[in-house]
Structures are given as C-alpha cells and as structure tokens.
C-alpha cells in the first residue's frame, strides 16, 4: 500500500492560493501511485506560529494581533464549503484518500464566530469520512481556537485501510489514544507544526502502542511568512534557519521503527510502500484493544458531544 506525506508550506493566510497548491500536490501524490496523502496541522491556510515567536502577540487589545486574527478568520474554511468540495472532487477524480489539517470557521448557528483546529479525512470516493476538531488547543493556541468534541475520534475505511488521526498534543491524552485504538486503525496520521524530537517520541510510542503505521506530518513555514504586522520585533540570530516550522515528516511502522526517517528543512513529497500484514505480526506480542484491554477490569466510554 503506497502512501505519501506532502511536506510543504501553504501560501500563508491565503486559502485560495493554498487550495491551488494543495490540489497540485494531491495530483503529484496520485501520480506517484499513492492511495493516501497527508498534510500537516492547519495546512489550510497555515499555523499561527506568531503566537509563540512574535513578542507581544498575546497581549490584551493588541491591534496588530487583531488584524492578523481577522486575516486568519477570513481565510479559514467552513465544513462543508467550497474548499472541502474541491478536495472531495480531487479525491474522487484521482482515486486517492486525503487527510489535511485546516483552520475551520463556524459561520452559522450555535458557535458562530469560533475557529477550530480541524483534521479532515476524505476518502477516495470523495466522501468526507471524518471531521475531527482538536480537543484542547495547546497553550497559546487557546487565544485563537475553541475546544473540539469527540465525534471525530475514530478511524474510517479507505482504499488504503482504516485511517485515523490526532492533532499535536492530543497524542499525550491517554483516553483520546484509547478511543482511536478501539476504532481499529491501520494507518494513523499524526499532524504537528514541526515533528521535533519530543513529537517523534510521541509518534513512535503511538505506533508501538496502537500496533499501526503512523504518518508523522509536520508543516513547513518560512520565516518570511510571519505576518508583517507582528514581525518588527522578531530578530534572527546567526545560524538561525530560514524556517519557522521545519517539517520533520516521517513514517513509522507498528514495531516503532522508522520506515522513512524524519526529513527536515526542505519541502518534499515523502512516498513509501507499507506492508499492512506487519500489523498482524506485531499484534502477537501486544493488542491494546484486545485481550490486553482487560474489559473485565476496565471500562472505557467515549461521548460524542457537540462542540457547538
């Protein structure tokens, strides 16, 4: 089973140009023979790295931050919506499943005005198979995103196998992991801003615990993409990379060993063939949702609450 990671920078805070780029990358992945292609956290239209690297971005009533947030909100997508329709059409035309992170905007009904850090899974028939919202935004992220719900904590069938995903620090939430393990993942997409050492550890642990393949997907973001409204106080040190987000994409087997080792500081389509029978072999020693779950001793329950 051939899969791909599209380690590439979006056109920052420009959802229309980013959509054109993502459709081109999906075509490239399909031409490589991939049945699944994955993109990083909030790829549409980029991760708000300015929260952490621009001094004063989080100060109350900062007019520059308000301007940048307004641009982020205007360039966030709705689900369903024009961008999802375009991705679904590409998936159907190219016979490829897509997993992509996005900034999602609620435009009507309860929750109107809220942004979510979302992960969309579109199957090869063009169906939106899963719509997951990050359960708890991490630290400074809470300034821009709301809390998600439990509806997307599941794997969905695709021609590449059962595919699930979590967003960033959700990989340290034991019960979120258990919900995903119980859904029977063959391939797990772990999306991050950058897959640095700590994130690599979490991704490898997830593969070992879940006895599944993990596509650890990081974003690329050039320093020049930092919003000009907030960039004045950002200084570079000698030796600093031109990247704010460095990628680090990797593919990990169900034995926790790398199929593709992490790739940093360059945009690249990472492609690999996966032998899904390896899941069966590795399940001999540990099956987290099987007899190791001990349902006679423990009870697990997931509530599919609505974030709105």
DSSP output for 32-81: TT-SEEE--TTTBT---THHHHSTTTTSTT-HHHHHHHHHHHHT-B-SSS
Closest CA to 206 of 165, 243, 239: 165
- Check whether 59 has a pLDDT greater than 90: no
pLDDT at 241: 67
CA distance from start to end of the chain:
37
Tokens found for residue 71: 């641009």
What is the C-alpha R_g of the chain?
19
Compute the distance between CA of residue 164 and CA of residue 172 in angstroms, rounded to an integer.
Answer: 16
pLDDT at 169: 97
| Residue 56, phi-psi category: left (phi > 0), alpha (psi -120 to 50), beta (remainder) | left
pLDDT at 33: 98
Q: What percent of the chain has pLDDT over 70?
A: 95
pLDDT in tens, 181-200: 999 999 999 999 999 999 99
Q: At what angle do helices 174-182 and 197-210 cross, to 10 degrees?
A: 40
Tokens found for residue 266: 């360059």
Measured in degrees and rounded to the nearest 5, phi and psi for residue 25 equal -65, -35
- Annotated catalytic residue 168: yes
| Strand extents, DSSP E, 66-203 | 97-105, 115-122, 128-133, 156-158, 161-167, 187-192
Q: Residue 163 in contact with residue 121, Cβ under 8 Å?
A: yes
- Check whether 243 has a pLDDT greater than 50: yes
pLDDT in tens, 286-297: 999 888 999 899
Q: Which of 41, 124, 170, 245 is catalytic?
A: 41
> 16-20 long-range contacts, Cβ below 8 Å, gap at least 24?
18/43, 18/44, 18/45, 18/46, 19/44, 19/83, 19/86
Compute the distance between CA of residue 212 and CA of residue 208 in angstroms, rounded to an integer.
Answer: 7
Q: Which of 21, 83, 124, 168 is catalytic?
A: 168
Residue count (the chain): 308
Instruction: Tell me, rounded to whole angstroms, the distance of Cα 248 from its chain centroid.
Output: 13
pLDDT at 240: 58
Tokens found for residue 153: 């904590």
Closest CA to 208 of 162, 249, 171, 169: 171
37-70 residues labelled b (16+ CB within 10 A) or e (exposed): bbbbbbbbbbbbbbbeebeebeeeebebbeebbe
pLDDT at 238: 45
Compute the distance between CA of residue 256 and CA of residue 80 in angstroms, rounded to an integer.
Answer: 36
Tokens found for residue 134: 């990050």
pLDDT in tens, 211-221: 999 999 999 99
Q: Which of 134, 141, 154, 282 is catalytic?
A: 134
Tokens found for residue 207: 């593969």
- Check whether 203 has a pLDDT greater than 60: yes
Q: What is the average pLDDT score of the chain?
A: 93
Instruction: Tell me, rounded to whole angstroms, the distance of Cα 255 from its chain centroid.
Output: 22
């Amino acid at each position: 089973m051939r899969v791909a990671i599209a380690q590439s920078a979006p056109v920052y805070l420009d959802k229309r140009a980013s959509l054109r780029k993502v459709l081109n990358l999906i075509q490239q992945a399909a031409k490589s023979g991939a049945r699944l292609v994955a993109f990083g956290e909030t790829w549409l239209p980029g991760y708000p790295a300015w929260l952490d690297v621009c001094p004063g971005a989080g100060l109350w009533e900062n007019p520059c931050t308000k301007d940048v947030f307004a641009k982020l909100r205007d360039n966030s997508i709705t689900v369903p919506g024009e961008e999802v329709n375009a991705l679904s059409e590409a998936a159907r035309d190219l016979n490829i499943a897509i997993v992509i992170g996005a900034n999602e905007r609620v435009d009507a009904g309860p929750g109107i005005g809220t942004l979510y850090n979302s992960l969309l899974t579109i199957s090869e028939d063009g169906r939106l198979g899963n719509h997951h919202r990050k359960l708890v935004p991490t630290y400074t992220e809470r300034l821009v995103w709301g809390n998600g719900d439990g509806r997307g904590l599941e794997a969905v069938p695709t021609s590449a196998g059962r595919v699930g995903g979590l967003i960033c620090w959700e990989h340290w939430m034991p019960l979120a992991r258990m919900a995903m393990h119980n859904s029977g993942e063959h391939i797990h997409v772990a999306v991050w801003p950058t897959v640095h050492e700590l994130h690599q550890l979490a991704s490898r642990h997830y593969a070992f615990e879940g006895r599944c393949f993990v596509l650890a997907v990081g974003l690329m973001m050039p320093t020049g993409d930092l919003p000009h409204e907030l960039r004045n106080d950002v200084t570079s040190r000698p030796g600093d990379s031109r990247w704010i987000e460095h990628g680090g994409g990797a593919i990990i087997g169900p034995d926790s060993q790398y199929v593709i080792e992490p790739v940093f500081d360059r945009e690249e389509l990472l492609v690999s063939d996966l032998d899904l029978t390896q899941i069966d072999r590795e399940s001999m020693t540990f099956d987290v949702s099987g007899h190791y779950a001990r349902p006679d001793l423990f009870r697990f329950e997931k509530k599919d609450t609505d974030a709105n």
